Amino acid sequence: MTGNPTDDTNPDRKSSSGSKLGTGLVIGAVAILLIAFGYLEKVPEALFWPMRLLVVVAVGYLVFAIVQKLRKASGKAVVFSLIMLLMLYGAFYVVCLVFVKLMSAKDEEMKTVDVTELTGSARRGIQAMLDGESPVEYDREVGWVHRPGYAWDGHTVSEQGLRGTRIYPEQAPDPDKRILCIGDSFTFGYEVGDAESFPHHGEQLVPGTEWINLGICGGGLTQSYEQYRKNGRKWGGKYVVIAFMTNNIKRTVNSCRALVEPNGAMTPLTKPFAKMTDGQLSVEPNPYQERARYEKLLANPEEELAYLYDLDFYSWSNQKRVTNPVLRTLGYVWERRNGDHNLDLLLGRAQEGFGPFRPGNDPYGSSLWHPKSPGFQANVAVFDQYYADVLADGREPLIVILPSGADVERRAEGKKPKHRALIEHLDQKGHRYFDFLDVLEREYGDQLDPEDLYVKTHFNGKTNKLLAEEIVKVLSLK
């Protein structure tokens, strides 16, 4: 019977079926692209070529579908589609904004830093330092050091400015048994008692040795270097342990900690920093050569932070921060899904190991670890100069790489360490070092879990003891 609505020849029915098929094909094409760029590294190698063909077909179909839509669309339909796209973008923008806010609390790389104003925490930290009520005090060369004779929350600083209560003779009774330990809060032993820092464990493991704890909370590699030059050399000793926690790569090139860690209440202060100019390293002095300059920072933060920003890696690296939450989210997801690596696999091209250098959303983000990043180059240049100076002083340096909780999680998931370019550099230079992450994996195997290693964000006493044991082993201390 003609006109039967159930007849297969009904044009409306055909149109509906074709529309559903087209929608299904578009969804399938998008799914193929998501798998290719987000999960190709997990696909068996035998399926690479089929995946490549599927990607070509998917891209071709999507282009075809868009062209067909545009050809058939009227002017009003195009305008309506553009309005819908803008609305969808607005909704996606809000979703990405929420994502950035939530992730900023979990991942430092997603933090949005206001470089024009001091946070309440930073103001209180600066004022406490000026009032003598902070664990640290101003130091023109180093930036800050621990306040001699100060104690707080189970942390003691001796009258000599060292962690703990032990008083050491300035001249080493036996230089072969004195070890200088220089680094940040992991060296200092933050979040654990005086008897649980790794230098204290070292003294217990090898009686008769002296482990001089020159760690500075909130410090970085340039401060470690200046701490050695100003305060370390006088202690003599045969060995210098240069402890470097991976998150500190940003501190090496940062002029003021408040610019990258605005809520760091203890040390929102200025410091010496590394800079690369035409491939040459310079360790720039502390921007605040007078303690009174902090009064000006509190009174006029916008002007002072602008001055510090112009000195900072933000400026001299010639990189721009991306503030758009959509671009930041997409960049973050691309990186977390190893997008560059998957693209290499898809195109069948040789993999450099680090992918192309992209400054990314944030100069202080993950791109900082790329071998071509000026920040990375500044870090390794400081390591080389620091190491050479210790050798020239007739001492034996040992670089110790300390992992963050995120590094441990990556290792437990079987992922490559973010600091592998640093390891390659140290190997190429022949510097003596060890990566404590390897030691932790050797000790815990498939049971590796940050919960067992850290108090909050710093090593617990057990982990510090394991670290001291490895240092004793590497240095062959007796």
Q: What is the mean pLDDT of residues 362-374?
A: 88
Nearest Cα neighbor of 190 from 401, 456, 398, 440 is 456
Q: Which amino acid is at 45?
A: E
Q: What is the mean pLDDT of residues 305-332?
A: 86
- Per-residue confidence band for 36, with pLDDT thresholds at 50, 70 and 90: confident
Q: What is the mean pLDDT of residues 237-248?
A: 97
The answer to whether 465 touches 201, Cβ cutoff 8 Å, is yes
Q: CA–CA separation, 80 vs 287, rounded Å?
A: 55
- Counting residues of the chain whose pLDDT is more than 90, the rounded percentage is 64
Residues facing 242 on adjacent strands: 182, 399
- The pLDDT, as a whole number, for residue 75 is 75
Q: CA–CA separation, 180 vs 199, rounded Å?
A: 9
- The pLDDT, as a whole number, for residue 352 is 55
Torsion, Cα of 198, 457, 383, 220 (10° steps): -110
User: Do strands 239-245 and 143-146 pair parallel, antiparallel, or not at all (unpaired)?
Assistant: unpaired
Tell me which of 116 and 388 has the higher pLDDT: 388
- The pLDDT, as a whole number, for residue 417 is 92
Q: CA–CA separation, 252 vs 365, rounded Å?
A: 14
Quote the tokens at residue 449.
Answer: 């879990």
- The pLDDT, as a whole number, for residue 9 is 57
Q: CA–CA separation, 294 vs 135, rounded Å?
A: 17
Q: What is the mean pLDDT of residues 393-412?
A: 96
- The pLDDT, as a whole number, for residue 343 is 73
Candidate from 47-61, 189-203, 401-415 with smallest mean pLDDT: 47-61
- The pLDDT, as a whole number, for residue 76 is 78
CB atoms within 10 A of CB 35: 17
- The pLDDT, as a whole number, for residue 428 is 98
With a cut of 70, say whether residue 20 has pLDDT above it: no
Quote the tokens at residue 465.
Answer: 């003891």
- The pLDDT, as a whole number, for residue 258 is 94
- Counting residues of the chain whose pLDDT is more than 70, the rounded percentage is 89
Which residue carries 């006493």 as its tokens? Answer: 461
Q: CA–CA separation, 137 vs 390, rounded Å?
A: 26
Q: What is the mean pLDDT of residues 378-387?
A: 98
The answer to whether 51 touches 36, Cβ cutoff 8 Å, is yes
- Per-residue confidence band for 140, with pLDDT thresholds at 50, 70 and 90: very high
Phi first, then psi: give them for residue 455, nearest 5 degrees: -75, -65
Phi first, then psi: give them for residue 163, nearest 5 degrees: -70, 135
Q: What is the mean pLDDT of the chain?
A: 89
- The pLDDT, as a whole number, for residue 58 is 85
- The pLDDT, as a whole number, for residue 113 is 67
Instruction: Say how many residues make up the chain.
Output: 478
pLDDT, tens digit (0-9, with 9 covering 90-100), for 21-32: 677 887 888 888
With a cut of 70, say whether residue 317 has pLDDT above it: yes
With a cut of 60, say whether residue 12 has pLDDT above it: no
The answer to whether 435 touches 401, Cβ cutoff 8 Å, is yes
| Helix residue spans in 312-360 (DSSP H) | 313-316, 325-336, 339-347
First-to-last alpha carbon distance for the chain, in angstroms, is 102
- The pLDDT, as a whole number, for residue 55 is 85
- The pLDDT, as a whole number, for residue 379 is 98
- The pLDDT, as a whole number, for residue 14 is 54
- Per-residue confidence band for 351, with pLDDT thresholds at 50, 70 and 90: low
Does an H or E element contain 398, and which? strand 396-402
DSSP 107-159: -GGG----TTS--HHHHHHHHHHHHT-SSEEEETTTEEEEPTT-EETTEEB-T
Give me Rg for the CA atoms of the chain. Answer: 28
pLDDT, tens digit (0-9, with 9 covering 90-100), for 57-78: 888 888 888 887 777 777 777 7
Q: What is the mean pLDDT of residues 306-328?
A: 86
Q: What is the mean pLDDT of residues 430-440?
A: 98
Candidate from 327-336, 355-364, 460-469 with smallest mean pLDDT: 355-364
With a cut of 90, say whether residue 345 has pLDDT above it: no
- The pLDDT, as a whole number, for residue 387 is 98
Cα 59 to chain center, whole Å? 35
- The pLDDT, as a whole number, for residue 168 is 98
Candidate from 42-51, 101-110, 284-293, 368-377 with smallest mean pLDDT: 101-110
With a cut of 90, say whether residue 403 has pLDDT above it: yes
Candidate from 18-27, 122-131, 292-301 with smallest mean pLDDT: 18-27
- Per-residue confidence band for 19, with pLDDT thresholds at 50, 70 and 90: low
Cα 342 to chain center, whole Å? 22
Does an H or E element contain 276, and which? strand 273-277
| Residue 207 three-state SS | coil
With a cut of 50, say whether residue 1 has pLDDT above it: no
Residues 6+ apart with CB under 8 A from 383: 221, 242, 244, 399, 422, 425, 426, 431
Cα within 13 Å of Cα(88), Cβ side = 6
With a cut of 90, say whether residue 241 has pLDDT above it: yes
Candidate from 80-84, 240-244, 342-346, 465-469 with smallest mean pLDDT: 342-346
Cα 400 to chain center, whole Å? 17
pLDDT, tens digit (0-9, with 9 covering 90-100), for 267-280: 999 999 999 999 99
